[in-house]
Each structure stands twice: as structure tokens, then as C-alpha cells.
Chains A and B, each alone.
Chain A
């Protein structure tokens, strides 16, 4: 009888903290997945704006066909990667792939906007200006959503890797979440240049 009680006590002492740690891991995982969903929404918005932008710009920048093609290509590639990775929040390989695709899109977009400086007619176009504002805003949103995702992923990783929760994480396959970094970070953080001081 006594051994049964002892056994029960030992089990309770092990199981209760185990359940608590498990729940904590699930909460942190949900948090970073939710943060990733926000990035996905903003990236989609970004990709949806680009065909409009190219449409508007085409008439003015006929000589920059190469750049425009590069923008379209980078956009299509990024959209494809986004669709592939949208369910794979935190998977390190997917995050890296997404980061690369978005980074190169940011790079060519930056080039396009730099070139647009030489076309005053284009810059006077109301449609172009509003698209520029929408893109600037979307870039910012992506950046802030990425910041939130990386913070959430780091908090999750801290739980996955520290004692004692790492034991539970190992038992139930809680893998480390990958950070999302955009390769062309300069172009991401300093998107289309619209502010002059």
C-alpha cells in the first residue's frame, strides 16, 4: 500500500510539472506561429501591390525594361516561395528560403525606386505616389511583423533549449524555430526612399 502511495506521489511530482512545461511550450509555439501568420499576410499584400506598380511605371520607364523584368521575376519567385512556406512557420530551411526570396525582391525594388528618381513625370503621377506610400507602409509592416516573429521565436527557442523544459521538448518533438532574416537587409529597412529631412 505504502509503495503504491509513494509511486503515485512520485508520478504526480513528475507529471504535474511535465504537463505545465508542455503547455508552456505549446503556448510559445502558438505565439510564434501566430506572429508568422501576420508576416504572411503582409508579404501577400506586398506581392499584390507589385504588378500594379509595374503597370504604372511601364509607360514612363520604357528604357528600364530589364529592371522591370527583374522586379516581376523576383516578385513571382517570392510569391511562389511564400505559398510554399506559408504553412511551415519556424522551419529553418523554409525561413531561410523565404528570407532569400524576399531579400532579393527588396533589392530589385530598391533599384527600381532609385531609378524612378530620374523620371519627374512618373514622380508626379498620383497613382505612383500612392503606390509608393502603400509599398513603404507594407515594407514597414513586414519589418515590424518580422521583428515580432523573431522575438516570439526567440522566446520559444529559449524554452525549448533550457533545462528542464528541454526534456519535454525532446520527448514531444518541439523543434527549434528558425529566425527570419532578409538577406538584403539594407533594402528592407530603408525601402523606397520617401522621406527627406
Chain B
């Protein structure tokens, strides 16, 4: 961030992009490492087991078990098993991705959103629709469909859909009733930034990869079960090898899912900073976004989104929704104070007039704004 007190969106964007790249690279490294580890284990156990089967048919000597582990290592089997594991992850991820993908409007509707169109006469909704159109021009993106989550009193918003053409933007009723025009514009610009930066697609891919790792655990459990059921008929060593690989798949898969979720949250936090920076590029005024974040901070309890679908769109929300007590490592959003400081370096929660304002006061001001009253 620049030192002169101005918000330098280009610099902030470049930084967020670099850090995402590192995280995505780590994620790929994670899956490759898991595949390689299982592959190596497979080479060690399965390769040897095959040999032993052959040997035992000819001569049941003690020499078979005397061979050292390294000698039994079979590179071909290792490669086959490793590629198989990679295949399981990638194929499940691809299938999952295809199932998850698609229409933003459908996601918005599943969250209980009602669509608003250009002919709405309600002043607040009309204003929201106008603000979305303004930002579509600023972001040079097609006009998304616009939804309001009626029964949600917290201040929040989301963007859904995999491509700019199928995107939808949702805003909670609470946001519409509390934020003024400039702040709404900041929030809408933030959501447009997610669309412009392809964050929905990025997160979808990460989620699909995590699902692939879950599938690995499942495969491990299945392998163990098969061994238990058919175990009696087989050679003891083969059973042991299959068991070991099953356990390895189970454990590595589970560890991978955990690591994957941590990385997913870290990527999501980076993308939030990026979206904030991009939003300022669109509006050219950091105050609106900063004030919206301050209002959220002021009514922390308001940001709880009471919705079972929270998980799927959680990273796309404007502010942390599922649980604000979630540990820092799993949070999909950076701390509010940090986000505000990035936009307004002089911010101090203890004596900030917006942060200190009671919600009633905010809503009264908002009603006045919609009525056209001067304060």
C-alpha cells in the first residue's frame, strides 16, 4: 500500500494476484505430493506382493520375507498407482465442478432471493438496480441479474455464477435498509470485482479439488472394506498391502482435505483484498466501500447470514457469514479492521463516527436519504 495515505488500487491488486498464485501453486503441489506418496507406498507394497505371490507358488522359502524394503520397490507400480490417485482426484473434481457450476440466478433463488427488474418502483430497490447498472458500465461487464434476500436483516451481499454472462448479484434486505447510495455502490462494485476477477470460477475449482481429495478418503475406506470382505481367500501379505494402502489413502486424503480447506480459506482472503482493490478501481472512491465495512463492523451481529446454503456462497459474500468466531486460519474473509485499514489508513475503530454509530441511527439516516430529506 502506498505510504502517502492514498489507496493505490493497482499496487494492491498486483500484490493480491501474486499471493493467490503462490497459494494455487501450493494447492497443486499438495495434490501431487499426495499422489506421489500413495504411489510410492503402492510401489513398495504391491510390487513386492505380486512377486511374492509368484514366488510362493513355486517355493515357500524364507528368502521372500528376507528381502529388504528398498529391493521390493517397484517403480512401474508406483507410477501406475500415483497416476491412478491423480486420476481419481482430477476426475471426481471435474465431475463435481460440472455439477456445481452454472447459473448465478439459480444460486440466488436457492438462497431465497427475489429478483428485481428495471421496472421496480420501490425507491430502495430502484436505487440498487441503478447502482448495479452503473457498476456494469464502470466494470465493462454485462448487466447481471439482481436479487434481494428479503428476510435477511444482516448487511451482506454476494455474487454467484461462473461467468459474467450467467452472473447474479444478491443483496440482503438489511444492506438495502442500512447502507446509503454511495455505500451500496461500494458493495456492488466489490461484487462486480469478484465477477471481473473470475473468483467464482477459481473457488469452484478449488472446491472441486477438495472434493477430489474427499473422494480419495472414500476410496481408501472402500479398499479396506473390500479387503475385509474378501480377505479370507487371499494371501496374507496381499491383504496387508491393500490394507496399508487403504489406510494411507484414508489418512492422506483426510489430511489433504484439511490442508486444502486451509488453502481455500487463504486464497479466499486474498481474493477479498483483491476485490476491495478492484472495487475502488471501478468507483474511484474508497469511502463508500470503507463506510459499508465500518457499518458491518458496527453491527457485527448483523452479518450472521442465517442460511443453510451459506457454505456454497460463503467465499462470495461481502463479509464473513458462517461464524465470526471461526479461527483466523479457516476464515474466508480477512478481518474487517484490516480491510478498512487497507482503504483508509487513518481508520481507528475507537473513535470512528461510522463504526460507533448505532444501527437505528443508520437506518433512520437511510430512510431520510430515500425520502430526499436533508439532515
Q: Which residues of A contact B (CB under 8 A)?
A: 38, 42, 117, 123-124, 128-130, 132-134, 136-137, 140-141, 144-145, 147-148, 194-197
Contacts and interface: CB of A to CB of B under 8 A. Distances in A.
B126 interface: yes
B130 A133 contact: yes
Nearest to A144: B138
Contact of A195 (B134, B140, B181, B284): B181
Contact of A196 (B140, B282, B369): B369
A139 B38 CA distance: 61
A38 B127 contact: no
A137 B180 contact: no
Interface of B: 121, 123, 126-127, 130-131, 133-135, 137-138, 140, 180-182, 185, 282, 284, 291, 354, 365, 368-375
Contacts of A136: 130, 181
Given A133-B130, A144-B134, A117 B374 contact: yes
25 contacts: A123-B373, A129-B370, A132-B372, A133-B123, A137-B134, A140-B134, A141-B134, A144-B134, A144-B135, A144-B137, A144-B282, A145-B137, A148-B140, A194-B181, A194-B369, A194-B372, A195-B180, A195-B182, A195-B369, A196-B180, A196-B368, A196-B369, A196-B374, A196-B375, A197-B180
- Most A Cβ at <10 Å: residue of B140, B181, B291, B370: B140
Contacts of B374: 117, 196
Contacts, number: 62
Contact of B126 (A42, A133, A141, A147): A133
A137 B182 CA distance: 11
Contacts of A147: 138, 284
Given A123-B372, A194-B372, A196-B368, A141 B181 contact: no
Contacts of A145: 137
Nearest to B138: A144
A90 to B, nearest CB: 18
A42 B134 CA distance: 10
A148 B127 contact: no
A102 B140 CA distance: 23
A29 B135 CA distance: 23
Contact of A137 (B133, B138, B370): B133
Contacts of A196: 180, 365, 368-369, 374-375
A142 B137 CA distance: 9
Contacts of B372: 123-124, 128-129, 132, 194
B116 to A, nearest CB: 14
B375 A130 contact: no
Contacts of B365: 196-197
Nearest to B137: A144
Nearest to B284: A147
Given A196-B368, A196-B374, A141 B180 contact: no
A148 B138 contact: yes
B193 to A, nearest CB: 14
A23 B133 CA distance: 32
- Most B Cβ at <10 Å: residue of A136, A141, A145, A197: A197
Given A117-B374, A133-B126, 18 more contacts: A123-B373, A124-B372, A128-B372, A129-B370, A129-B371, A133-B130, A137-B127, A137-B131, A137-B133, A140-B185, A144-B138, A144-B282, A195-B181, A195-B182, A196-B365, A196-B374, A197-B182, A197-B291
Query: Top 3 A-B pairs ranked by shortest CB distance?
Result: A137-B130, A144-B138, A140-B134
Contacts of A42: 137
Nearest to B368: A196
A185 to B, nearest CB: 13
- Most A Cβ at <10 Å: residue of B121, B130, B137, B374: B137
A123 B365 CA distance: 16
A133 B129 CA distance: 11
Nearest to A117: B374
Nearest to B130: A137
A148 B137 contact: yes
A140 B130 CA distance: 10
